[in-house]
């Protein structure tokens, strides 16, 4: 038994924002109350002055296993998740081989069970090998528990394949997650197209490269009556398309990353390859549209798109480096900064990191109502840290936030009643 006492419970799905005690037993939430007595033998965690939230869910990470273990493993990626306050992660299929079959999904599930510090939900590929030509075994993967499919990183170029994928996904009740990028428009761009790219002499990726695909996929999802989730939305125009689609009842949701909310293309001016990410960091006008879209509920979820790469891969000139940055261990303080600046209220922030991703993918958790899984995160809103590469538990050190003072870190991560991180120490080792 475990009693979390005196914290500010923020559970948007239950409509609670109040100081509460929470009793956990046998992997479940047992009771919530204003003053709960400590039962005989219960361990007590004093959460006074801290925020207590449902275990955070990151619906978009890259764990790189199997095949790309030099970048990350399920063991290291889930430890980074635990440090970041995440109790569940959904991992993208751009592994090697691509997670596009029942056998591969089961392999990822088995490794996760053996090595994982938090819950792992594999996302299956939309097409075989994410080659965009032939549908993957969506039905078989759904049988194995896959809740979403995506060719993340490799957008489905052929509209007919996307249409078919949406039809199948509907049949098997899975969500299609679309990395929206029209490749002839994106070309070999390496950053956002605009005055900054011109000034830095780097090739740009226009906002339209994303927006054209968002429009296409919304039209296809609407026609199929299927569930579409737009990954890492990054432009004002994409947001307007989603807002209009939602208004007319299309089953579409979307996510935004902490880096697209916190940084603009100005961050690229030092040519640090840790700022090279796809979709690219956009101009401040897009950033402010994203903040607004999150605050008004058009954006459902916050997801990190945690994309670890090796130091060697990133230690090259900007144009040659792979896209991606690590996000699991900095997401919470970056979002807490928006909360402190009153750009986002805490209920929306927590919903976007827990109940909304649970709802979009149909995952367990997302609330601490009695009977729910004992997946819980405690955040110290006042804890300030300057992260160094060696502090990151991810193998990937490609974070643009290293050396920056960040405030508001998770101090307890509990998965199914087991403490996996406490006071910034991992207990899952
Ligand atoms: O920056 C990115 N990195 N964007 C993607 O879509 C893929 C990801 C990766 O796998 O490295």
* Residue 13: pLDDT over 80: yes
Q: Taking residues 312-334, what's their average pLDDT?
A: 98
User: How many angstroms separate the alpha carbon of residue 281 from the centre of ligand 1?
Assistant: 13
Q: Contact at 8 Å (CB) between 404 and 385? A: no
Question: Which atom of ligand 1 sits closest to the CA of residue 276?
Answer: 1
Query: In sequence order, what are the residues at sequence separation of 6 or more whose Cβ sits closer than 8 angstroms to the Cβ of residue 181?
Result: 155, 205, 209, 210, 213, 278, 279
* Residue 59: pLDDT over 70: yes
* Residue 68 beta carbon below 6 angstroms from any ligand 1 atom: no
- Across the chain, mean pLDDT equals 98
Reply yes or no on whether 305 is catalytic.
Answer: yes
Would you state the structure tokens that stand for residue 107, as one six-digit string? 């392999």
The pairing of strands 418-422 and 425-426 is antiparallel
What is the model's pLDDT at position 20? Answer: 98
The C-alpha atoms of residue 51 and residue 181 are separated, in whole angstroms, by 37
The C-alpha atoms of residue 242 and residue 239 are separated, in whole angstroms, by 5
* Residue 186 beta carbon below 6 angstroms from any ligand 1 atom: no
Q: Whose CA is nearest to atom 1 of ligand 1?
A: 324
pTM: 0.98
Q: Which helix (H) or strand (E) holds 236?
A: helix 236-247
Best residue among 278, 394, 395 to mutate for probing ligand 1, ranked by most atoms within 8 Å of CB? 278
Which tens digit of pLDDT belongs to each residue from 109-143?
A: 999 999 999 999 999 999 999 999 999 999 999 99
Q: Contact at 8 Å (CB) between 424 and 83? A: yes
Best residue among 307, 321, 394, 399 to mutate for probing ligand 1, ranked by most atoms within 8 Å of CB? 307
Domains of the chain: residue spans and CATH? 2-51+373-392+405-426 (2.30.40.10), 55-361 (3.20.20.140)
Categorize the per-residue pLDDT at 350 as very low, low, confident or very high, splitting at 50, 70 and 90: very high
Q: What is the dihedral of CA 109, 113, 118, 120, to 10 degrees?
A: 0
Q: Contact at 8 Å (CB) between 192 and 205? A: yes
* Residue 154 beta carbon below 6 angstroms from any ligand 1 atom: no
User: Which residue, 130, 119, 118, is CA-closest to 67?
Assistant: 130
Which tens digit of pLDDT belongs to each residue from 239-260?
A: 999 999 999 999 999 999 999 9
* Residue 429: pLDDT over 90: no
pLDDT > 90 in the chain, percent: 99
pLDDT > 70 in the chain, percent: 100
From start to end of 339-416, where are the E strands? 376-386, 405-415
* Residue 150: pLDDT over 90: yes
Q: Whose CA is nearest to atom 4 of ligand 1?
A: 278
* Residue 162: pLDDT over 90: yes
User: Residue written as tokens 């060719």?
Assistant: 151
* Residue 72 beta carbon below 6 angstroms from any ligand 1 atom: no
Categorize the per-residue pLDDT at 153 as very low, low, confident or very high, splitting at 50, 70 and 90: confident
Q: How many CB atoms lie within 10 A of CB 92?
A: 29
* Residue 324 beta carbon below 6 angstroms from any ligand 1 atom: yes
Question: Which atom of ligand 1 sits closest to the CA of residue 231?
Answer: 6
Task: Please identify which of the residues 300, 305, 375, 380 carries the catalytic annotation.
Answer: 305
Q: Whose CA is nearest to atom 2 of ligand 1?
A: 324
Which tens digit of pLDDT belongs to each residue from 28-44?
A: 999 999 999 999 999 99
* Residue 428: pLDDT over 80: no
User: How many angstroms separate the alpha carbon of residue 321 from the centre of ligand 1?
Assistant: 12
- Low-confidence winner among 130-134, 143-147, 424-428 (lowest mean pLDDT): 424-428
Q: Taking residues 153-162, what's their average pLDDT?
A: 95
Q: Whose CA is nearest to atom 5 of ligand 1?
A: 153
Handedness of CA 293, 298, 302, 304 (dihedral sign): negative
Question: Which atom of ligand 1 sits closest to the CA of residue 62?
Answer: 10
Categorize the per-residue pLDDT at 206 as very low, low, confident or very high, splitting at 50, 70 and 90: very high
* Residue 73 beta carbon below 6 angstroms from any ligand 1 atom: no
* Residue 410 beta carbon below 6 angstroms from any ligand 1 atom: no
């Amino acid at each position: 038994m475990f009693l979390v006492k005196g914290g500010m419970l923020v559970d948007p799905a239950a409509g609670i924002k109040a100081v509460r005690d929470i009793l956990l037993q046998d992997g479940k939430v047992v009771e919530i109350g204003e003053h709960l007595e400590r039962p005989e033998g219960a361990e007590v965690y004093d959460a006074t002055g801290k925020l207590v939230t449902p275990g955070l869910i990151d619906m978009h990470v890259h764990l790189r296993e199997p095949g790309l273990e030099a970048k990350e493993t399920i063991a290291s990626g889930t430890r980074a998740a635990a440090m970041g306050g995440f109790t569940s992660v959904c991992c993208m299929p751009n592994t090697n081989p691509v997670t596009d079959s029942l056998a591969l999904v089961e392999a990822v599930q088995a490794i996760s069970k053996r090595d994982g510090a938090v819950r792992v939900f594999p996302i299956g590929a939309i097409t075989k090998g994410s080659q965009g030509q032939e549908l993957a075994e969506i039905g078989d993967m759904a049988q194995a528990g896959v809740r979403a499919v995506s060719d993340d990183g490799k957008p489905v170029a052929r509209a007919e394949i996307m249409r078919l994928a949406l039809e199948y996904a509907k049949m098997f009740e899975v969500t299609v997650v679309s990395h929206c990028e029209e490749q002839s428009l994106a070309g070999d761009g390496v950053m956002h197209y605009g005055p900054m790219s011109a000034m830095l002499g780097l090739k740009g990726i226009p906002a339209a490269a994303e927006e054209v695909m968002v429009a296409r996929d919304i039209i296809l999802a609407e026609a199929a009556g299927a569930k579409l989730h737009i990954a890492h939305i990054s432009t004002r125009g994409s947001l307007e398309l989603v807002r209009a689609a939602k208004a007319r009842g299309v089953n579409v949701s979307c996510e935004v990353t902490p880096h697209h909310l916190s940084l603009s293309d100005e961050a690229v001016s030092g040519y640090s390859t840790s700022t090279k990410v796809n979709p690219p960091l956009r101009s401040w006008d897009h950033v402010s549209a994203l903040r607004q879209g999150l605050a008004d509920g058009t954006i459902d979820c916050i997801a990190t798109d945690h994309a670890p790469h090796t130091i060697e891969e990133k230690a090259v000139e900007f144009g040659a480096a792979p896209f991606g940055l690590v996000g699991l261990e900095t997401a919470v303080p970056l979002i807490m900064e928006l909360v402190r600046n009153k750009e986002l209220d805490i209920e929306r922030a927590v919903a976007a990191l827990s109940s909304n991703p649970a709802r979009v993918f149909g995952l367990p958790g997302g609330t601490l109502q009695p009977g729910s899984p004992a997946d819980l995160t405690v955040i110290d809103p006042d804890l300030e840290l300057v992260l160094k590469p060696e502090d990151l538990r991810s193998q990937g050190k490609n974070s643009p936030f290293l050396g920056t003072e960040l405030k508001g870190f998770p101090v307890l991560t509990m998965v199914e009643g087991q403490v996996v991180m406490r006071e910034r120490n991992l207990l899952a080792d």
